[in-house]
Amino acid sequence: MSLSFEDANLLRIMSMYPAFVYDEKRKFNQLCLVFKMIGFVFYSRTAVICVNDKLFPWFCTVSCMMLVSICNTLRYEYAFYKVYGMTFQSIDAFKEWKTKQKPHIKTVLDCIEFLIKVVYLYKSFPLTFGMYDENDDKKFSECVFSGTLLKLHIMVIMAGYSIIALLFMCLYTDIVYRRMWAPWQPRDAMTLNSAVNQMNAQNATVSAVQPIAVIIDNETECCICLEKNDKLWITTRCTHSFHATCVAEWMRRNPSCPVCRTNIIQTV
């Protein structure tokens, strides 16, 4: 006796889209948030000190944008902190949740902050770097020093973005080249055999996760529904048997075996 088409299709879909446990620590994002908070404190303090300086409007503008960006980032990271260790039904369910957190707001705020800094850098041309008062070469000026740090800060960010853009450009060029010229390049027998073996391995993996349909007498109790009847049973690869409909419903919420906790839809 075999599984019905509906049950077999459900089990196949469950094996293709296993449950997803979110366990990302996001340490890099938290580190960036800490640096941004330090920068906000520094530029805010400088704005208070340099009230009568020509850089005062720029320090105020940068500090305000950094504050808005920090508040939004705190909201975003706290949402991830609350779901740490949570099991989503699938990776698609996690992506849907992530979309609801509106990550584009963070991107927009970061772009606005970056544009303000670029405008400041443009207005500062020709660039000058120093730490002493313009009228007294021996007197240390915190306003001038902070302006120098802000320029260096912007230049470092621009250099980082330029490197990332260059890497993406190289990757895109490589992809376009492969798509245009790869079909015209001859393939040797070893390459073809490797591709065939990979396809066979994938087919074996898909078939390995399929359960085995069995018939069990109506005196045996299903450990999921705790009922005895003559419904269709299946035996998973960990050798435990359940009603087909019961284990299909169980797999919607949990990919592990109800008895031994083995992942019954994990690829082999």
87 token code pair: 């099991």
142 and 31, same structural domain? yes
158 and 208, same structural domain? no
In a domain, 184, yes or no: no
232 token code pair: 């269709």
34 and 111, same structural domain? yes
In a domain, 261, yes or no: yes
Mean pLDDT of 205-221: 51
State how far the Cα of 174 lies from the Cα of 230, in Å rounded to an integer: 59
Tens of pLDDT, residues 174-187: 888 777 765 554 44
In a domain, 231, yes or no: yes
Contact of 20 with 93, CB cutoff 8 Å? yes
116 and 33, same structural domain? yes
State how far the Cα of 138 lies from the Cα of 39, in Å rounded to an integer: 27
Strand runs labelled E in 151-257 = 212-214, 233-235, 241-243
153 and 42, same structural domain? yes
Q: Could you say which of 135, 163, 191 is where a domain stops?
A: 163
Q: Assign 231 to helix, strand or coil.
A: coil
How many CB atoms sit inside 10 A of residue 233's CB? 21
In a domain, 252, yes or no: yes
State how far the Cα of 170 lies from the Cα of 148, in Å rounded to an integer: 33
Q: Could you say which of 105, 135, 163 is where a domain stops?
A: 163
The residue type of 222 is: C
Q: Give the range of the structural domain holding residue 260, as residue numbers without chain letter.
A: 204-268
Mean pLDDT of 21-45: 89
Mean pLDDT of 10-22: 63
Helix (H) or strand (E) holding 97: helix 91-100
Nearest to 150 by CA among 57, 28, 216, 258: 57
154 and 91, same structural domain? yes
147 and 215, same structural domain? no
117 and 237, same structural domain? no
Q: What is the CATH number of the domain that holds 231?
A: 3.30.40.10
264 token code pair: 């019954």
State how far the Cα of 116 lies from the Cα of 119, in Å rounded to an integer: 5
Q: Quick check: bond before 126 cis, omega within 30?
A: yes
How many CB atoms sit inside 10 A of residue 153's CB? 16
Position 198 pLDDT exceeds 80: no
In a domain, 248, yes or no: yes
Cα distances from 5 to residues 8, 114, 262, in angstroms, run 5, 56, 25
Nearest to 67 by CA among 27, 47, 39, 46: 39
In a domain, 141, yes or no: yes
211 and 148, same structural domain? no
State how far the Cα of 259 lies from the Cα of 50, in Å rounded to an integer: 69
What domain count does the chain have?
2
β-strand 20-21 against 87-88: which pairing, if any? antiparallel
In a domain, 172, yes or no: no
State how far the Cα of 166 lies from the Cα of 116, in Å rounded to an integer: 23
110 and 46, same structural domain? yes
Q: Could you say which of 163, 182, 214 is where a domain stops?
A: 163
Cα distances from 94 to residues 17, 73, 97, 248, in angstroms, run 12, 19, 5, 21
150 and 32, same structural domain? yes
230 and 120, same structural domain? no
Record the pTM: 0.55
Say what the pLDDT of residue 147 is: 82
In a domain, 13, yes or no: no
Mean pLDDT of 99-103: 91
Tens of pLDDT, residues 135-170: 777 778 888 888 888 888 889 988 998 999 999 999
- Phi, psi at 99, each rounded to 5°: -65, -35
Position 233 pLDDT exceeds 70: yes
